[in-house]
Structure 1
Amino acid sequence: MKMKSPQVLMECLLEQGVDTVFGYPGGTILNIYDEFERSGYKEKIRHILTAHEQGASHAADGYARSTGKVGVCFATSGPGATNLTTGIATAYMDSSPVVFITVNVGENLIGKDSFQEVDITGITMPITKCNYLVRRAEDLADVIREAFAIARSGRPGPVLIDILKNVTYEEVDYRPLPVEQHAAHGRLAAMLRRASHDLKTPEPDHGDIQKLLDMIAASQKPLVLVGGGVIRSKGAVPEFRKFFETLNAPVTSTIMGGGACPGSHRLFTGMIGMHGSHASNFAVDQCDLLIAIGCRFSDRVALDPATFARNAKIVHIDIDRSEIDKNVKTDHHIIGDARRVLELLNQGMTPHDYPEWKEWVFSHKEVPLKKDDILHPHEVLETIQAVTGGDAIITTDVGQHQMWSAQYYHFSRPGQLITSGGFGTMGFGLGAAMGAKMGNPDKPVVLCTGDGCFRMNCHELATVEHYHIPVITVIFNNQTLGMVRQWQHLIYGERYSQTDLDRGPDFVKLANAYGIGGARCATQAEFEAALKKAVASGDPWVIECAIDKDAMVHPMVPGGAPVTDFLLD
């Protein structure tokens, strides 16, 4: 059937099961936005108009991470498209499947420095799994279908589609094609085969599986390290839990692996690395076998690669061959999807136990937490846990509050912690919280942020209020850029250059200005009362928590040092 390109786009989104799009219109993309109104697609696909394109990018990312679906984001050309780049890079670093759709200037204006022209495909090439410039209307449907397939397949990630404006005026033949028929569709199948990324995850080598089982049988002190790859792999978490419980050995996690092993589990040692627990860091230093599943060995985990797991044989399980031996040299590796690898391991696993090893690992206790009249960070997280029954999805920005959230909130399921782990994006949290709540309307969503981070995204309160998205924002307000100040205190001789935030706004008044409830708390009792009120209201809220300016994240290992060289205990 004949239809205009914008209608083809909408029909393709419906083919993919898209129910929500986050975006911001502009001149070049108006034909697509007009289709929402002209053809009634707004009744089939919710469009959330954010306050800024970056907010839309993070919202689509938060939606994707919390639902396991592909997020979708729209923007216009030029500054609209470049405002997405931070969000695209954030999704890329954390392997989040988002399709970004932009519209550029027309073919006759390309390359002429036209108004709001930018080479967004060139700009985003290093931070996307794949990107496209659509010059012909007849290519549009198959490009969209391929983009979604690439975004969700293998190691997930963001894909960008840039469409020339003249294409959005054109009429083209369109035939509906359900997702399950894509691989058999001649032209699309050929495009998929030519795609720069292999869409078919290889079957793990069964010999490699047996070798790991033999290494486990020979080990006396094994440690399991879980990363975000287990969270991203559909169906991997149940297999992972079966694996480590049969192994019956200590389990540690990267920040992106939060929720793969329940935080309250008897085998869980906590997070590993720069702000890892004593038990985790001492365990990785003394284990004789490290089984790392779906992690990158980043510089926040393996701070000094030369000494990381120095007494162990290191086994790396990952879907992406390029990650093997990139940061840490391994003794054995298995390439494959985490779910399938774990499924095969579980078929050959026999029960184990390491009582002496576990007793030694768990003998490394953390410093007792303070309880007095001051509101401490751990009390904020413990209260959120208690009031929400541990059911809340937690989104964060980046800094001290991010580490406190990872340390003190016991995540019990995948997709419950949504944070910018790889790119470290300040301003990520509120957009991500909006997306998470849109994708999970029955779950409480709490944004944990700092006063510095919240300044970068607080304009999205307009979006929260307009669409009545009941996100509860908890601001850890220490009137400083806390993590930077912590480094300045410990490493830079207490020279606090440009980190004091001794200025506005009044966050409660800011919330009220947007028509949102607000509260200010200085004690645990005040915070508990405010949080209960916010949860019961079913409305968006902003709760400001007065935190000690010198509160620090404990423990801390300086960058580049062995993981047991604690600078701060």
Structure 2
Amino acid sequence: MVTKSGAQILVETMVNYGIKYVFGIPGAKIDRLFEELEHSTNPQKPRLIITRHEQNAAFMAAAIGRLTGKPGVVLVTSGPGVANLTTGLVTASSEGDPVIALGGQVQRDDLARLTHQSIPNQVILSPVTKYSVEVQDPNNLSEAFANAYQSAVDAKSGAVFISIPQDVINADVKRPVMRRNPPMAQGVPAKQQLADFAAQIKQAQLPVILAGMRASDQAATQALRSFLQKVPLPVVETFQGAGIISHELEHLFFGRVGLFHNQTGDMLLKKADLVITIGYDPIEYEARNWNQERTGKIINLDSVAPELTQEYQPEMVLQGNLADTLKALAELFVDSYQLKATTKQQLQTIKAEFDRKDIPPITNSAAGLHPLQIVEELQRHVDDSMIVTVDVGSHYIWMARHFRSYQPRHLLFSNGMQTLGVALPWAIAASLLHPQQKVVSVAGDGGFLFSGQELETAVRLHSNIVQLVWVDGYYDMVRFQEQTKYGHDAGVKFGPVDFVQYAQSFGATGLQVDKQHDLQTVLDQAFAQEGPVVVAIPVDYSHNQELSQDLLTDQFY
């Protein structure tokens, strides 16, 4: 009988489960698995992508999960390697991105000793994952991976962790490799529930859909679009719901909600006598921000049971497969459905005002460009096939409110954890999946340097990424809120960086927007360039306080 090591068994299990990429950084406790990934002759083995920090490796794996619906895999060594996963995994778990994390551990007879890099892996990562286990027998490795995969993709999707002691990954395995298990199927709610759902829509004066993260699944989005063709209701997206509304349905799009309670979508939700949440997760935008003082009903449609709070107590809860449920619901509308004429007229007025907010003001600031000028010019350069990843900062608010996207999961935000540094690692993963497409990454000069070292990874992988850096010299998302609250700021200023030279030092192209090089010309050059390009753009954030103060009036109601 031919025996195989734990490392060989794990790689074979990954092959069975269709894993295409493994991101990470090696170390002595787990190097046998890196050896197997690098030197195995199996043509179907996952591609090993070495990164410059474990946290960024976790971000890349999470992007694979979000973009494909299948878990990305991150592989790290013991001690700080495992500890560095924490932020990436909590971000993935909160934002519904399936990830399988594999971490090295000291050998089993050292677990109770104060030895080099001995930390309680399973305990440390248990609070930030859906499933955390330490394998104590090499024969359990394949089973552990199979269960981790199932947990990662089961609603609500998220991160899982497997801790592997050094002597376990090196040991011989006697059991065969697990076959890939079929996905867990969900059904459709009962016929009477669906009939009641349809009746509530028909009776409502102003029914509004709040489309959340789980509605951005490809099948769910297609089903929702088909439903809206038949039942044209106004739609508000969460940040992670970006792209659910297509070009053809743009007349039904009333913006995105998140952060400050002052958007067109907020006001529409407030006035609605029926809010239909589809795939909505409270971590995206808590109900206390949009449902306080409302008097209308709520119907919750999702693949998971809702979290019930004082601010979120739906009158009807339907749980099941989103796509199949929406298809079944659409079939109950035999006759054509239209909102009342007065309601449609009100919505048209609101829509016109909403669209006007995207127009940049005429300004010539010495500090830099108005954010809307940058958003408008970027919009001209991005087509529907391009994926745009957005870091966290003031730019992220402007992008979420004003940048239009018409394909689900093509405009990516971190709105659960608001984690700095996600944009570039996400873009690298997106470029792996779509090597022939341009990928755009947008960051501020603060957040960009949380993961800027991955430019080397992008250069090594020949990633076609246009990285925009909005430069103002502050952690401005914190700054303008401090100024609003206290009249001044504290702890938000940092020193300058020459981003052109920074990019060039990694072998990337660096471009600067300035008086001699206008934004349109620089972006034309950046999008024509092969490989990673960093574009530094001075931005004038003097209008940022309007982000939390500019309230939509009630004149339309």
| TM-score normalized with structure 2 length | 0.91
Q: What residue number does 2:532 align with?
A: 540
Contact persistence 1:387–1:531 (CA under 8 A): yes
Letter in 2 for 1:289: L
Letter in 1 for 2:528: A
Contact persistence 1:74–1:100 (CA under 8 A): yes
Q: Deviations over 1:512-554 (max 9, x none)?
A: 1111111111479722222221221221000011001424175
Q: What residue number does 1:189 align with?
A: none
Counterparts of 1:327 and 1:297, CA distance in 2: 11
Counterparts of 1:527 and 1:252, CA distance in 2: 31
Aligned with residue 498 of structure 1, among 491, 501, 511: 491
Q: What residue number does 1:379 align with?
A: 373
Q: What residue number does 2:295 align with?
A: 311
Q: What residue number does 2:396 align with?
A: 402
Contact persistence 1:227–1:254 (CA under 8 A): yes
Contact persistence 1:274–1:301 (CA under 8 A): no
Contact persistence 2:484–2:545 (CA under 8 A): no
Residue aligned with 1:491, SS = helix
Aligned with residue 281 of structure 1, among 254, 266, 289: 266
Counterparts of 1:293 and 1:362, CA distance in 2: 23
| Cα distance change of structure 1 residues 362 and 414 upon mapping to structure 2, 3 Å threshold | same
> Displacement, 1:304?
4.0
Residue aligned with 2:375, SS = helix
Residue aligned with 1:348, SS = coil
Counterparts of 1:42 and 1:278, CA distance in 2: 51
> Displacement, 1:43?
7.5
Aligned-residue sequence identity (percent) comes to: 26
What does 1:489-528 align with in structure 2 at a 5 Å threshold? 489-493=483-487, 495-501=488-494, 503-522=495-514, 526-528=518-520
Contact persistence 1:385–1:391 (CA under 8 A): no
Counterparts of 1:45 and 1:219, CA distance in 2: 51
Contact persistence 2:12–2:45 (CA under 8 A): no
The count of residues paired between Structure 1 and Structure 2 equals 542
Counterparts of 1:525 and 1:362, CA distance in 2: 40
Letter in 1 for 2:219: G
Aligned with residue 426 of structure 1, among 417, 420, 428: 420
Q: Deviations over 1:241-291 (max 9, x none)?
A: 112232212110110111111377111000124446743122111111110
Counterparts of 1:524 and 1:8, CA distance in 2: 58
Contact persistence 1:283–1:361 (CA under 8 A): no
Q: What residue number does 2:69 align with?
A: 68
What does 1:50-449 align with in structure 2 at a 5 Å threshold? 50-179=51-180, 182=181, 199-201=184-186, 203-232=188-217, 234-262=218-246, 265-275=250-260, 278-298=263-283, 300-304=285-289, 307=292, 310-325=294-309, 328-350=312-334, 351-354=336-339, 355-364=341-350, 365-366=353-354, 367=357, 368-374=359-365, 375-449=369-443
| Cα distance change of structure 1 residues 40 and 521 upon mapping to structure 2, 3 Å threshold | same
Letter in 2 for 1:224: I
> Displacement, 1:305?
6.2
Residue aligned with 1:321, SS = coil
Q: What residue number does 1:556 align with?
A: 548
Q: Deviations over 1:168-193 (max 9, x none)?
A: 121113535542xx36xxxxxxxx9x
Contact persistence 1:89–1:127 (CA under 8 A): yes
Higher relative contact order (CA 8 A, sep 6+): 1
Contact persistence 1:53–1:75 (CA under 8 A): yes
Letter in 2 for 1:371: I
Greater Cα shift, 162-171 or 370-379:
370-379
Q: Deviations over 1:469-500 (max 9, x none)?
A: 1211101112211211121222221x111112
Q: What residue number does 2:471 align with?
A: 477
| Cα distance change of structure 1 residues 491 and 299 upon mapping to structure 2, 3 Å threshold | farther
Residue aligned with 1:328, SS = coil
Counterparts of 1:515 and 1:424, CA distance in 2: 29
Counterparts of 2:490 and 2:193, CA distance in 1: 52
| Cα distance change of structure 1 residues 409 and 95 upon mapping to structure 2, 3 Å threshold | same
Residue aligned with 1:489, SS = helix
Letter in 2 for 1:356: T
Letter in 1 for 2:65: A
| Cα distance change of structure 1 residues 177 and 111 upon mapping to structure 2, 3 Å threshold | closer
Contact persistence 1:21–1:73 (CA under 8 A): yes
Residue aligned with 1:103, SS = strand
| Cα distance change of structure 1 residues 292 and 110 upon mapping to structure 2, 3 Å threshold | same
Counterparts of 1:524 and 1:436, CA distance in 2: 32
Letter in 2 for 1:500: K
Unaligned ranges ≥5, structure 2 = none
| Cα distance change of structure 1 residues 285 and 550 upon mapping to structure 2, 3 Å threshold | same
Counterparts of 2:20 and 2:65, CA distance in 1: 12
Letter in 1 for 2:55: Q
> Displacement, 1:202?
5.1
Counterparts of 2:386 and 2:545, CA distance in 1: 22
> Displacement, 1:41?
5.2
Counterparts of 1:395 and 1:162, CA distance in 2: 30
Counterparts of 1:322 and 1:352, CA distance in 2: 28
> Displacement, 1:299?
7.5
Counterparts of 2:327 and 2:291, CA distance in 1: 32
Unaligned ranges ≥5, structure 1 = 184-191, 193-198
Letter in 1 for 2:518: E
Counterparts of 1:361 and 1:329, CA distance in 2: 27
> Displacement, 1:388?
2.7
Contact persistence 1:291–1:316 (CA under 8 A): yes
Counterparts of 1:201 and 1:141, CA distance in 2: 26
Q: Deviations over 1:139-180 (max 9, x none)?
A: 11111112112212232111111111111121113535542x
Counterparts of 2:532 and 2:229, CA distance in 1: 39
Residue aligned with 1:358, SS = helix
> Displacement, 1:68?
2.5
Greater Cα shift, 546-555 or 345-354:
546-555
What does 1:450-461 align with in structure 2 at a 5 Å threshold? 450-461=444-455
Greater Cα shift, 4-13 or 270-279:
270-279
Contact persistence 2:187–2:324 (CA under 8 A): no
Q: Deviations over 1:431-462 (max 9, x none)?
A: 11111111222332111101110121111111
> Displacement, 1:45?
2.2
> Displacement, 1:315?
0.9
1:467 equivalent in alignment to 2:474: no
Contact persistence 2:51–2:57 (CA under 8 A): yes
Residue aligned with 1:116, SS = coil
